[in-house]
Structure 1
Amino acid sequence: MRAELLQLGYAGLTIDGVAKRAHTSTPVLYRRWPSKAVLVLDALSRRGVPDEEPPDSGDLREDLLAFLQPLARRFDGVLGEAMRGLLAETGRDPELAALVQAQIARIVPESGITAILNRALSRGQIRGERLRPRAVALPTDLLRHEVIARGTPIPPTAVAEIVDDVIMPLLACDTGYGRGQDAGE
């Protein structure tokens, strides 16, 4: 299935094509995966999720960039294209929407962002009253938006803009954060 997805992309992938490549029949595939979207979602869920410790440089901005840049690269190529295709289908299928959201949460774990933000809170770099669930989800939500709205690859400048223009002004105690500014300026 992965080879078919790599060769044809999400839009060109068909259950019939996957069955032919796998030397099986479409009814066999449909017994396990009721739709192309569920088949692709299952294939994507088999991708490994990095379990490395979130960065801890002592600087909120640097930690966010070090965490989000590799995450943005995970959406390059087939994964990003497949996610866009899947998300387009979720409007018609609430059950699929729930499955896709669970998969996105697995690929883009908010626990890393939570750890980074909690460390920054303990260092006094962010305002605790602003550390609400939606604010914690925002960095990864904005990466997903980039994938959906603009496609991939997500340029490093887009990640820096997310951090500098949205996240830092929202959470940081130091109001000097902004595009191209360092914490010390």
Structure 2
Amino acid sequence: MAETKTRRRGAELEQAILDAAWAELNEVGYTRFTIEAVAARAETSKPVIYRRWPNRAELVLAAWEHSAPIPPRELPDTGSLRADLVYVFTRIADRANSIMGEVIAGVMGETFRHPEVIEALRAQLTRSSELTDTMNTIVRHAIDRGELAPVRLPLRVARLPLDLVRNELMLCGEAVPDEMITELVDEIYLPLLRGLPPA
């Protein structure tokens, strides 16, 4: 009868599962991550989880997308394009440093047993709609301040901060240091933005 009192459905249940999965992932890492542990943490059952996510890799990717976005509403207008970019790159690195490398490596390993997982990973790495919104906001502010000529931000350029940070993380295998963030901004991303063709 206790189950009836705590039964959740729809978005509420999904959020509880994704929150539990993210907490479990941060606590034990990808290698020791299990659907059973997530079910216990979320106070639900394994079949309920498997109806939504057919394997742990897809659940992990969903939890990552749910719990580690960069919400545009948290973006401060610092008054400087460079400072805005350093802020966003730092946010990405902070969220990526602890877990992203292990998640990507673990999910890639799952593709041998579940080939469909690679499509979920590809979608996860290319979607990044909130990051795209954030970068468009930053560029719009810079144009309004006269720091950039009016330009259209291509999708690949909008997603590039995540790609750059992820690449450094995969190469270094450890936290991306602050000096690396400033190099990515000053040597790659700012020159790229300034070299985009006019809108």
Q: TM-score, normalised to structure 2's length?
A: 0.65
Structure 1 residues 141 and 31: CA distance shift in structure 2, 3 A: same
Residue of structure 2 in register with 1:41 after alignment? 61
Counterparts of 1:66-105 in structure 2, within 5 Å, are 66-87=87-108, 89=110, 95-104=116-125, 105=127
Residue of structure 1 in register with 2:157 after alignment? 135
Q: Which piece of structure 1 moves more, 19-28 or 69-78?
A: 19-28
Q: Which amino acid aligns with 1:161?
A: E
Structure 1 residues 8 and 48: CA distance shift in structure 2, 3 A: closer
What are the superposed Cα offsets for residues 63-92 of structure 1, whole Å, 9 maximum, x if unpaired?
A: 111222122101132354224422554688
Aligned partners of 2:117, 2:157: CA distance in 1, in Å? 26
Residue of structure 1 in register with 2:80 after alignment? 59
Report the RMSD for the aligned CA atoms in angstroms.
3.5
Deviation at 1:10, TM superposition (A): 0.8
| SS in structure 2 of the partner of residue 10 of structure 1 | coil
Q: Does 1:167 align with 2:189?
A: yes
Residue of structure 2 in register with 1:11 after alignment? 31
Deviation at 1:147, TM superposition (A): 3.2
How many residues are paired up? 173
Deviation at 1:20, TM superposition (A): 7.5
Moved over 6 A (4+): 19-25
Q: Is the contact made by 1:65 and 1:163 (CA closer than 8 Å) also made in structure 2? A: yes
Q: Does 1:112 align with 2:127?
A: no
Which consecutive residues of structure 1, in runs of 5 or more, have no partner in the other structure?
174-185
Q: Which piece of structure 1 moves more, 48-57 or 150-159?
A: 48-57
What are the superposed Cα offsets for residues 107-142 of structure 1, whole Å, 9 maximum, x if unpaired?
A: 861211111112223434235568433333222221
Q: Which amino acid aligns with 1:139?
A: P
Larger helix share, 1 or 2: 2
Q: Which piece of structure 1 moves more, 7-16 or 58-67?
A: 7-16
